[in-house]
Amino acid sequence: MAGNRTDRPGCSLCGEDAVICLREPNRHLCGKHLSEDIEARVLSAIREYGMIQNGDRIAVGLSGGKDSTALLLLLHSLLPLWDNVSIVAITVDEGIAGYREETIGAAEALTREIGIEHHTISFSDLFGGTLDAFLKGREQQACTVCGILRKKALAISAGRAGATRLATGHNLDDEAQSVLMNTLRGDLIRLIRESGEESGYFISRIKPLRDISEKEIAAYLIILGYWNDLPECPYTRFALRAEVRGMLSDFECQYPGTLKNLVTSRKKIREHLGRTEIAGPIRHCRQCGDPCSGELCQVCQLLPSLKR
């Protein structure tokens, strides 16, 4: 047994068997110290960006996947640090056959286990059709269509639940991917104006996992015993994000710190240019009233063509 321990590196903090190697900064962590490190960094991000205030009601977008599961568990453990803060979990059923049923089941099981209020809202009820139906013949647009409609669905459900904040599970990898995708598209406006700064019903959207990598989240869930091997969305193969994700994963492996550097570059660009100077002021959709940059929001522009 003693010989086996030498095969695994020790934790940089306590010498116990490490469960993860982090190269930025370079260190090994055991399960206990990884959990403590993630919780401390999430709490630091919440406080730095003023994501949560006393009296808030936090709606957590819970898909059932690893990121949203970790987000709900972390907020559930951290929120006693604030006064009179409550959580409600929201799951969006887009209507993806052979995929969504299993992830919705995982979300329902988790909320039952930890005693969190849980609401489910569907594309069919809100928009008159499933994502599968909307995408027939236009599968290449899957992620764009889904992203626009999901954002609206989450905002509506959060408003109905009386939430003051909407928390999503976007992690460091997601943020870096968005920076690179907007750069590749030459979309300076989206680079300057962060997606989700305001949702419908004027509910602030927060990203407590913005500084935590996908690798760390996976290890955290395994340590806590909440890892679920769930299916991948069948539309992922059409996404630019999937290619960017693979590219950045390789870069991060060869050049540790790539993800953080990309996110930091966006912050510096925003500080230098200013968000409203390039993107223009926030307006309101003349049909639904949601914040947008033009006369109509993306949902009100998109739905007529989907239904045709």
Would the pLDDT of 298 be above 70?
Answer: yes
Say yes or no: domain 38-307 is CATH 3.40.50.460: no
Cβ proximity of 46 and 78 under 8 Å: yes
In this prediction, residue 190 carries a pLDDT of 78
Residue whose token pair is 């993306």: 298
Q: Tokens in use for 128?
A: 């008159």
**pLDDT tens by residue, 43-55:** 999 999 999 999 9
- H helical segments located in the chain: 2-5, 31-48, 66-78, 100-114, 123-127, 131-134, 142-160, 172-185, 188-192, 214-224, 240-254, 258-273, 275-279, 298-307
- Give the whole-number percent of the chain exceeding pLDDT 70: 92
Of 16-20, 64-68, 163-167, 265-269, the one with minimum mean pLDDT is 265-269
pLDDT bin (cut points 50, 70, 90) of residue 203 is: confident
Would the pLDDT of 5 be above 60?
Answer: no
In this prediction, residue 197 carries a pLDDT of 47
Which of 164, 166, 169 minimizes the C-alpha distance to 155? 166
In this prediction, residue 3 carries a pLDDT of 41
Average pLDDT, rounded, for the chain: 89
In this prediction, residue 280 carries a pLDDT of 63
pLDDT bin (cut points 50, 70, 90) of residue 17 is: very high
Would the pLDDT of 83 be above 60?
Answer: yes
Would the pLDDT of 199 be above 60?
Answer: no
In this prediction, residue 277 carries a pLDDT of 56
Q: Tell me the mean pLDDT in the region 264-278.
A: 75
Q: What is the CB neighbour count within 10 angstroms for residue 40?
A: 10
DSSP single-letter state for residue 230: P
Q: Tell me the mean pLDDT in the region 18-26.
A: 88
Would the pLDDT of 307 be above 90?
Answer: no
pLDDT bin (cut points 50, 70, 90) of residue 185 is: confident
Q: Tokens in use for 225?
A: 């015993």
Can you give the residue ranges of every domain in the chain?
38-307
